[in-house]
Amino acid sequence: MRALARLAVTTLLVAAPLAAVTVATSTASAADDPVPITVLTSDFEDGSAQGWTGRAAETVAHSTAVAHGGAGSLAVTGRTATWQGPSLDVLGVVEKGTAYTISAWVRMTSGSDNVRLSVERRSGGVAAYDQVVGNTAVTAGGWVNLTGRYTLATDVDFLRIYVETGSATGDFAIDDVTVSYVPALPIQTGIPAVRDVVDEFPVGAAITGAEIVGDHGRLLSRHFASVTPGNALKWDATEPSENTFTYAQADPLIAYATANGLAVRGHTLVWHNQTPSWVFTGADGQPMTATAEDKELLLARLENHIRNVAGHYGDTIAVWDVVNEVIDENQSDGLRRSTWYTVAGLDYIRTAFRVAREVLPDAKLFINDYNTNVPAKRDKLYALVAQLRAEGVPIDGVGHQMHINVSWPTLAETEAMIQKFVPLGVEQQVTEMDVSIYPNSGESFPAPPADRLLQQAYVYRDMFALFRRYASEITSVTLWGLADDNTWLDTFPVTRKDAPLLFDTRLQAKPAYWGVVDPSKIGVSPSASASVSVSPSASISPSASVSPSGSVSPSGSVSVSPSASVSPSGSVSPSVGVAGCSVTYRVTGSWPGGFQGEVKVANTGTAAVSGWSLAWQFTGGQRIAQLWNGSVIQSGATVTVTNTSWNGTLAPGGSATVGFLSSWTGSNPVPAAFTVNGTACAVN
């Protein structure tokens, strides 16, 4: 085992923007009824700049030209660089290990720009810059709120928050800046540890700096047996410029894991994201293309990177995601057209595994991807792994990310995903599981509603039961985060507060935790019967054929496959007639071959509706691939959606909204008519 490099004193932090102005003000669980404590307010109502200064020679002054609240604000003029802007010393205000919410209102004086909220921190004279809220469009037309979370994880001797712009150096104003936190609750010690209850395989959590400090660290080591650095081992963190390797982010995390006896999943050696642009820049300074020279240089850089990063940790990291997200099921060969691929073809994958094996003969080497439950994607991944293994490429395992949500995918589809890879004789790991409370991009709750948390608990219950049944195949299950106070889903695919993990924002056990640890505590859901039971050794039938028109949304996280994977739920309550109804149909996003839509059905009558069945015609050949908040059957052009158990009752004036992903070819006509329980509805 190679010794770890001596750890430098390092500042670790996590910054995550949020949609809401305040942290959850009311939520379903008793633990989540927090009253935030405000440690800093700058309202600029006293005629002064309240301690704010410029970062350089720009002018920062109190102003009454505009104000968000009251009569005063703070104006900045005379900026000569985008990083210049109002700045405030918060050393002594912000304490290490506490998760703060920082909020500021911003307005341009004229025109528009992208504005961001950042922190500059220094330790021993070395400066680092953290983004709390990323580029946010701001104009002169109104005030825009920037809110994000920030946790400082070690000692600093300089700490200032500041507001800067993304593009130009225009004047702007800020107002009503607050820094607040929700007092910590003690970690629950009287509840079972996840790692003790689920002992078939290590259960892990992805971590950033904040998860190893204080209560977070205690929660982490109590419940989990494995960790995955969420960002610290990626290329941009480990080799930001050519042949300059830095482990300042990752070393403390790995040292924590080692000290606490936790396994480590290394994530990730090769990816198309979070890879610095120099990697893909040729010797001539131009973006690389498919030339022999560029390919040779790219593969040499790849080899050097893996030799250094994997070599730095040696046997300390026994499992690596060697390549990440290389599949694009919409390509006939199934391979993502990343720069890796366009310059080096499949050889980048071959090289990565070969080199990783040379450096780490005993490590388990994984190929990792998202949406591996989607048949088209799963099958392309299978074909690639089968081909490469037949060539002798040392792929030991397939990683299923499992970024899922409360109503997708089905358990059967997930089981089919696992079964698919059994004949290959590879290990399988669930590498990045989280269960978003949002089935679509259109919703946003300031705090998770109780029924969503329960739905989520059922998903965790059923998925973990499935994984445990397949313990001969599944060798690890990692959640993409420790607790809901720090989840990447707060900003992906849109900015809003999500709650996808087992512990809430105050580190308390959620229904989801009980779904994993003791499902008797969350009652029985109708979906429990959805579990299909097929033994892991069952032989695998050829996968359902999928037409090539499936496509991927621009965000890359949701795939549409036109295979009919939807089934009647059988849990519809008896229907009664609808005296009056109206329907609103909306396409919320569209891309070549696919689109996302939303249908709202409203009860405009005077009697409650108990159980509904909504029908329309897709006359353009559109095929629904996935639908949430309802069950769908599509027969030819006729689409019939029935309620789920929780949205079947429509009070007078009440409504329910279903969302879906669909394929389309040629044209995508909007349905002209809708019926509810056989009665024609008004169309909005």
Which residues participate in catalysis according to the annotation?
A: 325, 369, 432
Give least dist CB 17 to ligand XIL, A.
11
Q: Between 401 and 420, how does the x/- string for binding to ligand XIL read (CB under 6 A)?
A: x-------------------
- Sites for ligand XIL among residues 618-677 (CB under 6 A): none
Residue 406 or residue 489: which is nearer to ligand XIL going by CB? 489
Give least dist CB 432 to ligand XIL, A.
6
Give least dist CB 429 to ligand XIL, A.
13
Cα gap 547→542, rounded to integer Å: 15
Backbone angles phi, psi at 55, to 5 degrees: -90, -20
Cα gap 2→9, rounded to integer Å: 21
Q: Between 382 and 401, how does the x/- string for binding to ligand XIL read (CB under 6 A)?
A: -------------------x
If one asks whether residue 164 binds ligand XIL (CB under 6 A), the answer comes out as no
The angle subtended at Cα 495 by Cα 494 and Cα 497, nearest 5°, is 120
Cβ neighbors of 436 (< 8 A, separation 6 or more) are 403, 404, 405, 406, 489, 498, 500
Residue 231 or residue 338: which is nearer to ligand XIL going by CB? 231
Residue 271 or residue 514: which is nearer to ligand XIL going by CB? 271
Q: Which of 10, 151, 231, 642 binds ligand XIL (CB under 6 A)?
A: 231
Rg of the chain (C-alpha set): 26
Give least dist CB 526 to ligand XIL, A.
31
Cβ neighbors of 542 (< 8 A, separation 6 or more) are none
Structure tokens at 71: 């009569």
Residue 118 or residue 401: which is nearer to ligand XIL going by CB? 401
Determine the number of helices (DSSP H) and then strands (DSSP E) in the chain: 11, 34
Q: Answer whether 137's CB lies under 8 Å from 114's CB.
A: yes
Residue 16 or residue 602: which is nearer to ligand XIL going by CB? 16
- The helix, strand and coil proportions of the chain, stated in percent and rounded to the nearest 5, come to 20, 30, 45
Which contiguous run of DSSP H or E holds residue 584? strand 581-591
Cα gap 661→666, rounded to integer Å: 17
Give least dist CB 488 to ligand XIL, A.
4
- Give the total residue count for the chain: 684
Give least dist CB 657 to ligand XIL, A.
27
Closest CA to 26 of 17, 39, 35: 35
Strands in 629-669 per DSSP E: 631-635, 638-642, 649-650, 655-663
Give least dist CB 99 to ligand XIL, A.
15
CB atoms within 10 A of CB 593: 17
Q: Between 452 and 491, how does the x/- string for binding to ligand XIL read (CB under 6 A)?
A: ------------------------------------x---
Residue 230 or residue 511: which is nearer to ligand XIL going by CB? 230
b/e per residue, 476-490, with b = 16+ CB within 10 A? bbbbbbbbbbbbbbb
Q: Answer whether 512's CB lies under 8 Å from 502's CB.
A: yes
If one asks whether residue 432 binds ligand XIL (CB under 6 A), the answer comes out as yes
Give least dist CB 474 to ligand XIL, A.
18
Q: Which of 229, 230, 397, 594 binds ligand XIL (CB under 6 A)?
A: 230
Q: Between 74 and 93, how does the x/- string for binding to ligand XIL read (CB under 6 A)?
A: --------------------
Q: Which of 324, 476, 549, 559 binds ligand XIL (CB under 6 A)?
A: 324
- Residue sitting closest to ligand XIL (CB): 488
Paired sense of beta strands 674-676 and 623-628, if any: unpaired
Paired sense of beta strands 655-663 and 474-479, if any: unpaired
Q: Answer whether 109's CB lies under 8 Å from 182's CB.
A: no
Residue 27 or residue 324: which is nearer to ligand XIL going by CB? 324
Residue 98 or residue 231: which is nearer to ligand XIL going by CB? 231
DSSP string, 429-480: EEEEEEEES-SSTT---SS--HHHHHHHHHHHHHHHHHHHHTTTTEEEEEES
Residue 148 or residue 230: which is nearer to ligand XIL going by CB? 230
If one asks whether residue 371 binds ligand XIL (CB under 6 A), the answer comes out as no
Total residues contacting ligand XIL (rule CB under 6 A)? 6
Q: How many CA atoms lie within 13 A of 473 on its CB side?
A: 25
Give least dist CB 428 to ligand XIL, A.
16
Summarize as ranges the residues that interact with ligand XIL (CB under 6 A): 230-231, 324, 401, 432, 488
